[in-house]
Structure 1
Amino acid sequence: MKTTTTWEGNKTFIMKNEIGKELRMDAPTSKGGDGSGVSPMESVLGGLAGCMGIDINMVLRPYLDKLQKLEFETVGLRNEEPPMYFKAIETTIHVEGDIPASRVWRAVSLSEEKYCSVAHSLNADLTFKVILNGEEVEKQ
């Protein structure tokens, strides 16, 4: 999986996936952006909710004909000083339909503990390399 994220001027970036789908990201106006897109941190919360939603949908497959609503409210509590990472994330999942609560909780638990790649990626090891004017440069 690969994405390309390109600066569009000011504090706006466009992320494209390998098949050309785009996500516009921008800093909020309070941080000097124009607010034309989602913030990178909002995209993390949305990615988590979307990943869990796909998992839950798959686990609840036998009940899809009864599922009327599946909606996520995701709130991230951020560190107050840089780096302003998420210290905690709370996700409220609104489900409507004739589905046993035990099945919904099973789906949520399986997503969190086993399937949700985004949740597990929040603890990923990160590495970086820099290409400056076409040449890789070592960290100094």
Structure 2
Amino acid sequence: MGTKTVKIDWLGDQRYVGRSENGQQILIDNSENKVGVSPMDALLAALGTCTAYDVVGIMNKRKTPLSTYRLEVVGERAEETPARYTRITVRHIAGGAGVTKEQLEKAVHLSHEKYCSVAASLNAEMMLEVELAEEVEGEAG
């Protein structure tokens, strides 16, 4: 995979735009009148989308595609500075014809333990708790 570079430009106040090597952008905003996400929210979103990408792919490969899927990523922060995350809970809520909690759980654990590079990059001291739920939304069994 090699080296990745993101260039970050200051837009004034506490607003920054990050640009990937291929020109994609993210607005990071910690100002009073936010128009982008905070750096800490961006970290939670990165973890959630990284594992979601894996889970959707794994479920498709196993011939149990998801028809609904969302994640709730909750970060608990330390009281003292730096107010780092001390615990992150990633809750996967999915549904689809033939999807079981066991299949979803296997896909989630494979993502967190083997494939998700964001999860692997986080500090080993951080406790990642994975809470699972399976729902069938909009379909009969």
Stretches of structure 1 that go unaligned for 5 or more consecutive residues are 125-140
Q: How many residues align?
A: 118
Q: Which has the larger radius of gyration?
A: 1
Contact 2:71 2:92 in 1 (8 A): yes
The equivalent residue for 1:23 is: 26
The higher-RCO structure (CA 8 Å, 6+ apart) is: 2
Stretches of structure 2 that go unaligned for 5 or more consecutive residues are 125-141
The equivalent residue for 1:51 is: 50
Q: Deviations over 1:16-63 (max 9, x none)?
A: 11111110011152xxxx211100000000000000001101110122
Percentage identity across paired residues of the two chains = 33
In the TM superposition, structure 1's runs of 4+ consecutive aligned residues that sit over 2 Å from their partners are none
Kindly provide the amino acid, as one letter, of the partner of residue 88 in structure 1. R
CA distance in 1, matches of 2:5, 2:21: 6
3-state SS in 2 of match to 1:107:
helix
Q: What's the RMSD between the two structures over aligned residues?
A: 1.2
- Alpha-carbon offset, residue 7 of structure 1: 0.7
The equivalent residue for 1:12 is: 15
- Alpha-carbon offset, residue 110 of structure 1: 0.3
The equivalent residue for 1:92 is: 91
Using the size of structure 1 for normalisation, the TM-score is: 0.80
Using the size of structure 2 for normalisation, the TM-score is: 0.80
